[in-house]
Chains A and B, each alone.
Chain A
Amino acid sequence: QKEVEQDPGPLSVPEGAIVSLNCTYSNSAFQYFMWYRQYSRKGPELLMYTYSSGNKEDGRFTAQVDKSSKYISLFIRDSQPSDSATYLCAMDQGGKLIFGQGTELSVKP
């Protein structure tokens, strides 16, 4: 079993839709949770960073962490074609990041 599981997609939605991206993890020691956006053949860009269970909102993005279920989510409201990218969850393990496989998202105009 992988430490971090993420559905690779691809996920295709119409413009304006609410997108829900999810990851599950097995290591209860993970304390920090991140979401990155990666455009094709580029380095990842940090979108959201959370520490505790609960919600964190930044503009159209909301990160949600449920430590009891070992489940994290990223919601994108009013999705735009420019949001089309691969979204990776990542978790901290003693200073090292463990990444999910990434979900490929396509937002159609």
Chain B
Amino acid sequence: GAVVSQHPSRVICKSGTSVKIECRSLDFQATTMFWYRQFPKQSLMLMATSNEGSKATYEQGVEKDKFLINHASLTLSTLTVTSAHPEDSSFYICSAGRQGGNEKLFFGSGTQLSVL
């Protein structure tokens, strides 16, 4: 089956630093990738939709300048958390899908970000 690789799986950083998370589709091309955020015991909340070759579409309340998304190729999208603060500590998950609908969506293994 299709695989979505997410890296790193865990990162600990100091407050004020920036962290980059990568999401790769390993055996298919993804024109669209999605970035989610999940707090403990909470649901996945969609942050933004990443579109290859164009600007990402952010959900209401998500700061564009803080969560920078780059989708430079059909197999790679990156999420950069800029000037991270402790309240940004969360589990970040990406997903990507083949064309054809949500049944073809595959999720990465997630990145646990801890900001000290």
Contacts and interface: CB of A to CB of B under 8 A. Distances in A.
Interface string A49-63: 100000000000000
Interface residues of A, number: 25
Contact of A99 (B6, B44, B91): B44
Contacts of B110: 41-43
A32 B6 contact: no
Interface in B69-116: 91, 93, 95, 101-103, 105-110, 112
Contacts of A17: none
A96 B43 contact: no
A46 B103 contact: yes
Contacts of A101: 41-43
A42 B109 CA distance: 5
A97 B105 contact: yes
Most buried by B among A8, A32, A44: A44
A92 interface: yes
Nearest to A93: B46
A42 B95 CA distance: 12
A34 interface: yes
A43 B108 contact: yes
Given A42-B110, A43-B107, A32 B101 contact: yes
Given A42-B110, A46-B106, A97-B105, 10 more contacts: A34-B102, A43-B95, A44-B93, A46-B105, A88-B43, A90-B102, A95-B102, A96-B46, A97-B46, A99-B45
Interface of A: 4, 6, 8, 32, 34, 36, 41-46, 49, 88, 90, 92, 95-102, 104
Closest 8 CB pairs of A and B: A43-B107, A49-B103, A99-B43, A99-B44, A101-B43, A43-B109, A43-B110, A44-B107
